Structure 1
């Protein structure tokens, strides 16, 4: 089928600017699936290979390191035990903590100095 040529009386169509796509907020009807359960409350040992700081809780976690004897060039380093902490609401589920029966060995970093009142 032949295309009709515009005549002098027919104005040429002007290109319309593209309208930005509008975002429609449709409500989610399904709740997101929980992939892993939150670790249960209890005492956990820090089993990651490097130290860590959790900004949302006042806790610096230390990774276990064996004693390194001193040499002529190196002063050495004493053994560092891993942080063991009592998480009353469950440990972070970032894979750095393992449930243990050890006694907690760290207080929150912003706690006052430990005192023994007898």
Structure 2
């Protein structure tokens, strides 16, 4: 009986497909990072300032002269590990918004 064998020097179709690496999807720099946390006030706890173009918001790191940015994220903060839930009141609005008002 004849048997059909694949020669050892030729890859099988499954092996050839496994060796192919798919092209990565093009990055969209304007896409908003997805939130992993619920909405609310979050404090920026990263060591360097960061700009979020989709808000737009310039988040500032804490320095001896100024506190860190506390921002109210209605749909949750970006899931980039730079924000920590806080009970502090927001101290910064979006860069294109009017100034925060304080009721006394």
Deviation at 1:45, TM superposition (A): 0.1
Structure with larger Rg: 1
**How many residues are aligned here?**
68
Taking structure 2 as the reference length, what is the TM-score of the superposition?
0.60
Counting only pairs closer than 5 Å after superposition, residues 93-108 of structure 1 correspond to structure 2 as 93-108=79-94
> Hey, what does 2:51 align to over in structure 1?
53
| Structure 2 unaligned residues grouped into runs of 5+ | 1-34
Question: For 1:30-69, what per-residue CA distance to the aligned partner results, in whole angstroms no more than 9, with x for missing partners?
Answer: xxxxxxx711111100000000000111100000011xxx
Q: Secondary structure at 2:75's aligned position in 1?
A: coil
> Hey, what does 2:12 align to over in structure 1?
none
Taking structure 1 as the reference length, what is the TM-score of the superposition?
0.53
User: 2:98 aligned with 1:112, yes or no?
Assistant: yes
| Structure 1 unaligned residues grouped into runs of 5+ | 1-36, 67-78
Question: For 1:42-98, what per-residue CA distance to the aligned partner results, in whole angstroms no more than 9, with x for missing partners?
Answer: 1100000000000111100000011xxxxxxxxxxxx11100001000110100000
Counting only pairs closer than 5 Å after superposition, residues 76-91 of structure 1 correspond to structure 2 as 79-91=65-77
Q: Secondary structure at 1:44's aligned position in 2?
A: strand
In the TM superposition, structure 1's runs of 4+ consecutive aligned residues that sit over 4 Å from their partners are: 113-116
Q: Distance in 2 between matches of 1:54 and 1:105?
A: 16
> Hey, what does 1:13 align to over in structure 2?
none
Which has the larger share of helix? 2
Structure-2 change in CA distance of 1:82 and 1:115 (3 Å): closer
Tell me how large the CA RMSD over aligned residues is. Answer: 1.8
